[in-house]
Amino acid sequence: MGSVKFSVVIPTRERATTLRHALLTCLDQDFDDYEVIVSDNQSSPATRAVVDEIASPRVRYVRTPQLLAMSSNWDFGVSQARGDYVLLIGDDDGLLGHTLAVLDRLTREHPGRVVRWDTVYYTWPSFGLPEQADYLRVPLNRGLRELDGMQTIEAVIRFCSFYTALPMFYNALVPRSVIERLKARTGRVFPHPVPDVYSGFAVAAVAGTFLSCELPLSISGQSGASNGIAVLFNRGRSRIDAEFRNLNAREGLSSDRRIPDLPAFPHVPVADSFLSAKRMLFPDSPIELDRRQFVTGCIENLCVDSPEDWQLALRQLRESLADDADTRAWFDSTYARTPFRRLPPPRFRPDRLGYDGEALHLNAARFGVTDVSGVARLCEQLLNYRQDGVQFARSLVQELRLILDERAKVIAGLKRECDLRLEKILELDARLRAATRGGPVKRMTRWLKHRLLRKTAA
């Protein structure tokens, strides 16, 4: 048991500006039994200065002994946690004001369970893609249901569900018992170069089932210094991308040989994380990656700038199929001569803002919002969960399941009635057959036949 209920871990590297606002959201909570751990991966003194300036006894600053890969910094930060439950946010992310109070309620009602939630999505003004900054998406659903971990994994690796449906450390509360089981199985919690996506597969597999909450409980922020944007969309053009790759290589955090290192989102990080998690945690599962579907997804989402890079990517995809002659032959006949196609720039904000039936899509700047602490304040004004509390509602999926369950009960009742009637029909048929074997009916039949023959002869 830990000395606090919740540990909020914030791994960070050279993002003092965004870290300040992430910390402010963590400290503005209607709950007391928690700690915040800032795991500083060899940043400049500015990071420590932010923690010192905030000067909260709830915040603990720890520093890695040397510069580590992102996954290793996550391991280091989680190892410092003293809570019974651990959640992790990036240093440009945040918590909403109602987050820890709602999680306290859920863990009291469902002790020891993994809790996964939806997130508010926010692109900081410094967001690294043109015309995509200052976008805010606020989910408005309030469903709560239990999901099967392996079924969710299967839906994600078939690319029927997005990987955020998994209970990643970025959007889930993980009990210490699950963390210890992960360590016991693999030696560490995050043995993969993409710790967020990998952790979703790993936690879902080890936990077995988890609660999935459609209520937004954290802010997924993306700033100009976000690793994901640098690695996926600014490949080869960013110091962050170069450092990410070099540190992973130095520590031996490598991808599966069947997954080429291509800028194809989300197929490459999802497939690679799945294969690693399956190999280490659930090797006997019948769930497999459909490699033809994977290749098709990669080609449809391949983000390269020149015909030369396109041809190189096709060769890498073909080489990744060296162990599967049939699939390689299929690739040769289907995709080997695919002409170069430049994808349009990725779009994170929709063309039309407003309410779409599930979420609010807003221009954050119009509300005077410039950081995640401002996002948290605006969300509380819009949602009012902090003041009036949360009433969970059945999701559309739950409503459909209830309807199907009721219809299944009606069908089962009709089937029972049909079975009873069939039994009566069969019983009457048997009695009739018995009555005609040598009984009165049979004698009457013979007499009538005899009379008919005599009358005919006369």
> If phi over 0 gives left and psi between -120 and 50 gives alpha, with beta otherwise, what is residue 324?
beta
**Does the pLDDT value for residue 251 go beyond 70?**
yes
| pLDDT on residue 416 | 80
Q: Are residues 406 and 386 in the same domain?
A: no
**Does the pLDDT value for residue 176 go beyond 90?**
yes
Using H for helix, E for strand and C for coil, what is the string for 291-303? HHHHHHHHHHHEC
For residues 398 and 273, the model is more confident at 273
* Whether 291 contacts 329, CB under 8 Å: no
Cα–Cα distance list, 269 to 193, 235, 264 (Å):
9, 14, 8
Residue 150 in any domain: the answer is yes
Q: pLDDT per residue over 7-46, tens digit each?
A: 999 999 999 999 999 999 999 999 999 999 999 999 999 9
Q: Are residues 254 and 361 in the same domain?
A: yes
Distance of alpha carbon 34 from alpha carbon 58, whole angstroms: 7
Phi, psi torsion values for 420, nearest 5 degrees: -65, -40
- Which tokens is 91 given? 């240093």
Task: Please say which residue of 375, 393, 411 terminates a domain.
Answer: 393
Q: pLDDT per residue over 417-434, tens digit each?
A: 888 888 888 877 777 777
Q: pLDDT per residue over 282-316, tens digit each?
A: 999 999 999 999 999 999 999 998 999 999 999 99
Distance of alpha carbon 320 from alpha carbon 295, whole angstroms: 10
| pLDDT on residue 450 | 67
Q: Are residues 293 and 361 in the same domain?
A: yes
- Residue from 458, 70, 381 nearest 249 by CA: 70
Distance of alpha carbon 52 from alpha carbon 61, whole angstroms: 9
Residue 323 in any domain: the answer is no
Residue 206 in any domain: the answer is yes
Q: Are residues 406 and 389 in the same domain?
A: no
By residue range, what is the domain housing residue 449? 402-457
Q: pLDDT per residue over 120-158, tens digit each?
A: 999 999 997 878 999 999 999 999 999 999 999 999 999
| pLDDT on residue 440 | 62
Residue 219 in any domain: the answer is yes
CATH code: domain of residue 122: 3.90.550.10
Q: pLDDT per residue over 343-391, tens digit each?
A: 888 888 998 999 999 999 999 999 999 999 999 999 999 999 998 888 8
What percent of the chain shows pLDDT beyond 70? 90
Residue 332 in any domain: the answer is no
- Residue from 135, 351, 99, 321 nearest 223 by CA: 135
Q: Indicate the average pLDDT of the chain.
A: 91
Q: pLDDT per residue over 89-122, tens digit each?
A: 999 999 999 999 999 999 999 999 999 999 999 9
Q: Are residues 382 and 416 in the same domain?
A: no
| pLDDT on residue 128 | 77
| pLDDT on residue 1 | 45
Q: Are residues 425 and 286 in the same domain?
A: no
* Whether 89 contacts 218, CB under 8 Å: yes
How many domains does the chain contain in total?
2
Q: Are residues 244 and 380 in the same domain?
A: yes
Q: Are residues 297 and 439 in the same domain?
A: no
Distance of alpha carbon 187 from alpha carbon 192, whole angstroms: 12
- Which tokens is 98 given? 């109602």
